[in-house]
């Protein structure tokens, strides 16, 4: 029974589907997979972890991480490693994978065994027997729990005590998370960064965070992607010349997109590299590249508007999986749409075809694009609705700089990025589209950004919107009355350090910068160094993080940069 289950897991998880026109290419997962950096954060130190080792010692493991960092990909690799006997086979007799994106589509009531059976080819009686016999040899993977926790229809808060009781999937998961069901089994839950407080887990647990690729990991991924040594050397050397893009490639999803575009633009890769500065510019290039190499049964503009309409409707309803009828209703042909991939979903003991964007972030990108491709009146109406959503969901009204469980901030950042005429020109020229309302949209966005950044704790979100826009004059107007910037206790990614540097360089009047307890490392401080010289007062380097530096010379260099600032003083010094 278990051997048959393992065979079905291998068949399902062995390959990862990637865009490779004219048809999708199935890439061997083990050959492409690159190990991401996983850490545990604490006030005293940041430690790196090897996931299999952690899972041997902790029954409940929470793996958080921003969108695109590789959480779902990692769970697929865990399933494959267990089924093929590479890892975990001695630790676990059986591993189950529950994807909350799919569980949201279950409307009937199930018991615990039925829910686990729904995700695999084992029947309820077999699962009941396994759980009764050796529950301590069972691992349950729950992917994207925050997507379900934040789904309006999942808030019944029913707490089950009997595993045979029938209820909705989230009620069953809640009892699993609280340790009422399967307290002896192992549990690995993935979530976006800010949603861990919603889980209400009971018992001893370990919180870890997936950071994406290290610089060496980026190099390894490029090598596996291009395979040919000369191609790898050429593209990777070009990448290293663009420090901002090199940092962006620490996000596995963006790294894949950059590699894909370089593969299609090998004769002009230096130009491609130079133009990629923002997240939106990477998405625009990716979409443009797919459009260039794909035949269309309908006009590109019509297709993009239809994709945007489907994406926006999914955002509003918090849906990521679409039945064929809902796709064709927007004018799309799901069989020929290169931006939607086909999947299947179990309903009433049969597989139903469904469609989804290759990643949630593409749904957010096409929603932002949809707003730009409307006429002026309709476009601004959509933007106003987006701003109201920001306010009602607490993005503006209370401190929440990166509430990643809510997709609205990403839509806003993509919208700002698409109003960057240089970054979006390749796409708009292809569809022969001009944005007549771009000046008005920028003006209205300026007002909204000003509203956001005045709310303490939301400054970083405003800065990221301004960075995507890449308009120095606009940034100066938006931050015109700032003389100080307090980002203390906000965890700064390396990618965000480039955002902060850009905004500070556009606004030299900001004299007081507070970066205390921002998880700064030598690498991040090096990125921010040009901004340090502009500040009279700098609160950033606490001596707890000096151990991150490789030598005393780096410590003295940082202190020297601070002392050479215009005011010649630093609280940390």
- Give pLDDT tens digits along the chain (573 positions): 899 999 999 999 998 876 655 455 678 999 999 999 998 865 444 556 666 666 666 788 999 898 899 999 999 999 999 999 998 888 899 999 999 988 888 888 999 999 999 888 899 999 999 999 899 999 999 999 887 666 555 556 677 888 899 998 888 988 998 889 999 999 999 998 654 455 566 666 788 899 999 999 999 999 999 999 999 999 999 899 999 999 999 999 999 999 999 888 876 767 778 889 999 999 999 999 888 877 666 688 888 999 999 999 998 888 889 988 999 998 888 777 788 888 888 877 778 889 999 899 999 999 999 988 888 778 778 877 877 776 665 554 443 434 344 556 788 889 889 988 888 888 888 887 776 656 666 666 666 666 655 555 577 888 898 999 998 988 888 887 778 888 888 888 899 999 999 999 998 888 788 888 888 888 898 899 888 777 767 665 444 444 444 455 555 565 555 555 444 444 444
CB atoms within 10 A of CB 135: 15
* DSSP alpha helix (H) spans, 104-248: 112-118, 124-133, 145-149, 169-177, 215-226, 229-240, 243-248
- 403 to each of 197, 233, 295, 394, 539, how far by Cα in Å? 12, 38, 38, 9, 25
User: Residues 189, 62: contact at Cβ < 8 Å?
Assistant: yes
Residues 6+ apart with CB under 8 A from 465: 412, 413, 416, 445, 449, 452
Residues 6+ apart with CB under 8 A from 125: 113
Q: Is the dihedral of CA 241, 247, 251, 253 positive or negative?
A: negative
User: Residues 569, 537: contact at Cβ < 8 Å?
Assistant: yes
CB atoms within 10 A of CB 537: 15
How far is Cα 160 from Cα 378, in angstroms, rounded to an integer? Answer: 47
CA 187 centroid distance within chain = 22
Predicted pLDDT of residue 478: 82
Tokens for 391, please give them: 């306010």
CB atoms within 10 A of CB 560: 11
Per-residue burial over 50-82, b if 16 or more Cβ lie within 10 Å, else e, is ebeebbeebbbbbbbbbbbbbbbbbbbbbbbbb
How far is Cα 208 from Cα 63, in angstroms, rounded to an integer? Answer: 5
Predicted pLDDT of residue 81: 95
Place of tokens 């469980």: 405
Q: Strand 46-49 vs strand 37-41: parallel, antiparallel, or unpaired? A: antiparallel
How far is Cα 369 from Cα 567, in angstroms, rounded to an integer? Answer: 44
SS3 per residue for 212-247: ECCHHHHHHHHHHHHCCHHHHHHHHHHHHCCHHHHH
**Is the CATH number of domain 1-212 3.30.930.10?**
no
User: By C-alpha distance, which of 363, 385, 362 is closest to 314?
Assistant: 363
Predicted pLDDT of residue 435: 66
Q: Where are the domains of the chain?
A: 1-212, 215-276, 371-507
Predicted pLDDT of residue 566: 47
- 214 to each of 71, 253, 404, how far by Cα in Å? 15, 14, 22
Tokens for 328, please give them: 């064709």
Tokens for 228, please give them: 């040919």
Place of tokens 């010289």: 533
How far is Cα 286 from Cα 522, in angstroms, rounded to an integer? Answer: 32
What's this model's pTM, rounded to 2 decimal places? Answer: 0.88
Q: Looking at the DSSP assignment, which residues form a beta bridge with residue 351? A: 346
Predicted pLDDT of residue 282: 95
How far is Cα 573 from Cα 566, in angstroms, rounded to an integer? Answer: 15
């Amino acid at each position: 029974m278990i051997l048959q289950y393992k065979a079905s897991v291998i068949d399902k998880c062995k390959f990862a589907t990637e865009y490779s026109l004219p048809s999708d290419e199935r890439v061997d997962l083990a050959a492409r997979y690159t190990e991401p950096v996983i850490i545990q954060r604490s006030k005293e130190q940041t430690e790196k972890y090897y996931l299999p080792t952690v899972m041997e010692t902790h029954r409940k493991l929470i793996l958080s991480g921003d969108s695109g960092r590789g959480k779902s990909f990692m769970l697929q690799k865990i399933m494959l490693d267990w089924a093929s006997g590479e890892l975990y086979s001695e630790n676990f007799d059986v591993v189950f994978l529950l994807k909350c994106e799919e569980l949201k589509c279950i409307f009937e009531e199930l018991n615990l065994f039925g829910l686990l059976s729904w995700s695999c080819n084992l029947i309820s009686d077999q699962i009941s027997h396994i759980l009764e016999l050796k529950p301590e040899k069972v691992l349950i993977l729950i992917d994207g729990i925050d997507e379900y926790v934040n789904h309006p229809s999942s808030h019944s808060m029913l707490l089950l005590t009997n595993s045979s009781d029938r209820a909705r999937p989230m009620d069953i998961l809640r009892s699993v998370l609280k340790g009422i069901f399967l307290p002896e089994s192992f549990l690995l839950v993935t979530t976006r960064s800010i949603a861990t407080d919603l889980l209400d887990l009971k018992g001893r647990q370990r919180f870890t965070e997936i950071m994406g690729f290290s610089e060496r990991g980026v190099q390894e991924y490029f090598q596996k992607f291009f395979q040919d040594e000369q191609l790898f050397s050429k593209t990777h050397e070009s990448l290293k010349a663009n420090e901002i893009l090199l940092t962006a490639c620490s996000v596995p999803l963006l790294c894949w997109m950059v590699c894909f575009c370089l593969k299609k633009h090998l004769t002009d890769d230096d130009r491609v590299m130079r133009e990629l500065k923002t997240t939106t510019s990477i998405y625009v290039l990716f979409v443009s590249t797919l459009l260039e190499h794909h035949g269309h049964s309908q006009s590109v503009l019509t297709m993009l508007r239809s994709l945007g309409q489907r994406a926006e409707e999914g955002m509003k309803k918090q849906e990521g999986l679409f039945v064929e009828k809902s796709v064709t209703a927007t004018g799309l042909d799901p069989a020929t749409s290169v931006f939607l991939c086909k999947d299947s979903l179990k309903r009433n003991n049969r597989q139903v075809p469904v469609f989804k964007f290759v990643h949630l972030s593409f749904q957010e990108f096409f929603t932002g694009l949809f707003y730009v491709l409307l006429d002026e009146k309709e476009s601004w109406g959509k933007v106003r609705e987006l701003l109201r959503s920001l306010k009602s969901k607490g993005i503006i009204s209370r401190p929440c700089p990166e509430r990643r469980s809510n997709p609205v901030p990403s839509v806003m950042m993509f919208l700002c990025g698409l109003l960057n005429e240089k970054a979006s020109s390749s796409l708009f020229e292809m569809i022969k589209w001009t944005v007549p309302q771009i000046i008005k949209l920028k003006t209205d966005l300026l007002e909204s950004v000003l509203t956001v950044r005045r709310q303490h704790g939301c400054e970083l979100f405003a800065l990221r919107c301004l960075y995507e826009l890449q308009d120095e004059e606009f940034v100066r107007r938006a931050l015109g009355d700032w003389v100080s910037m307090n980002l203390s206790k906000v965890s700064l990614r390396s990618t965000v350090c480039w955002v902060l540097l850009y905004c500070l360089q556009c606004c030299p009047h900001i004299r007081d910068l507070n970066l205390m307890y921002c998880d700064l490392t030598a690498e991040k401080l090096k990125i921010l160094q040009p901004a340090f010289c502009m500040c009279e007062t700098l609160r950033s380097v606490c001596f707890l993080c000096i151990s991150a530096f490789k030598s005393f010379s780096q410590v003295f260099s940082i202190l020297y940069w601070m002392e050479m600032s215009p005011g010649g003083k630093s609280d940390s010094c």
